[in-house]
Amino acid sequence: MRKSIFVFVALFQVLVFANNAKAQQANEDLVSVYRWLNVQDNNYVTLANGEIQEGQLLQWKYKDKTFLFYAYKTPGPDRVAVYRWENPLTKDFASIAEDEMTDSDMQQKGYTGKKLQFYAPIRREGNHVPVYRWYKAKSKDWVTIPEVGNTDSYIDRGYKMKTFQFYGIIRSEYQR
């Protein structure tokens, strides 16, 4: 009897530990993605957590840090690489999914410094939200926005050319 209770408890502990390890491994592969606004230049930048130090962003006059969605740190099936491009003339940053535009197209538009940001899902699932890129011709600013709430309000701010990019991951209803 004692032996069977010990075996049951040991088996239960192994199952709990294995389940926790899988959950932690899945969470470790996710990275928070935020949008920052530079009020001086009136430009947005989309950044994965830790991509640029927050102190540096504050020094560059960025503020209004807003959570957008989660993405993956590593490549995998049904994931697309997302790169950050910088235009030194317009001081704009653009997050562009792999194969969304060619490198030569981006360079012709004046963008340089292609850097990998994260990997995003390309298939819709229950906890995924569509993410769009909007363009404002007047300031030559691109902004990445998940389809949550009234995103069409960006039309009133002068943004046009709404283009689907990929899906972001929302982990709970409280993060919408």
pTM of the prediction? 0.77
* 44 Cβ contact list (under 8 Å, min separation 6): 35, 36, 37, 38, 93, 141, 142, 143, 144
Token pair, residue 167, equals 């899906």
List the alpha helices (DSSP H) in 29-110: 54-59, 103-108
Per-residue pLDDT of 34-88, as tens digits, reads 999 888 877 888 999 988 888 888 888 888 888 999 999 999 999 999 999 998 8
Of residues 3 and 123, more confidence is placed in 123
Per-domain residue ranges for the chain?
Answer: 2-175
